[in-house]
Amino acid sequence: MKKQLLTRLVATALLSTAALSASAQNLAVVNGKPVPKARMELFKQQVEQSGQPITPEIEDKIKQELIKREVLMQEANKRGLANTEQYKQQMEMARQAVLIRALFDDFIKKNPVTEADAKAEYDKFVAANGGKEYKASHILVEDEARAKAIIAEVKGGKKFEDIAKKESKDPGSGARGGDLDWANPGTYVPEFTEALIKLDKGGLTQAPVKSQFGWHIIRLDDVREAELPKFEDVKPQIMQQLQPQKVEAFEKQLMDKAKIQ
- Give pLDDT, residue 130: 76
Task: Summarize the confidence of residues 183-198 as an average pLDDT.
Answer: 94
Band (pLDDT 50/70/90 cuts) for residue 17 is very low
- Give pLDDT, residue 99: 97
Band (pLDDT 50/70/90 cuts) for residue 24 is low
Band (pLDDT 50/70/90 cuts) for residue 8 is low
Which residue pairs, CB below 8 angstroms and at least 24 apart, start in 45-54?
A: none
- Give pLDDT, residue 90: 95
Which CA distances in Å does 253 have to 106, 247, 256, 258?
Answer: 16, 10, 5, 9
Relative to beta strand 132-141, strand 33-36 is unpaired
In the chain, pLDDT over 90 holds for what percent of residues?
77
- Give pLDDT, residue 186: 85
- Give pLDDT, residue 161: 97
pLDDT at 92 > cutoff 90: yes
In the chain, pLDDT over 70 holds for what percent of residues?
91
CA 74 to chain centre: 37
- Give pLDDT, residue 46: 87
What's the predicted TM-score (pTM) here? 0.54
In order of their start, the domains of the chain are 131-225 (3.10.50.40)
Question: What's the pLDDT tens digit per position in 217-231?
Answer: 999 999 998 888 899
pLDDT at 6 > cutoff 60: no
Q: How far apart are CA 5 and CA 2, in angstroms?
A: 5
Task: Summarize the confidence of residues 160-184 as an average pLDDT.
Answer: 96
Tell me the average pLDDT of the chain: 89
- Give pLDDT, residue 12: 44
Band (pLDDT 50/70/90 cuts) for residue 167 is very high
Q: How far apart are CA 30 and CA 216, in angstroms?
A: 72
Task: Summarize the confidence of residues 191-219 as an average pLDDT.
Answer: 97
Question: What's the pLDDT tens digit per position in 128-137?
Answer: 777 889 999 9
pLDDT: which is higher, 255 or 226: 255
Range of lowest pLDDT (10-14, 25-29, 98-102): 10-14
- Give pLDDT, residue 201: 95
Which CA distances in Å does 18 have to 23, 24, 32, 34, 242?
Answer: 8, 10, 15, 13, 52
Question: What's the pLDDT tens digit per position in 64-83?
Answer: 999 999 999 999 999 999 99
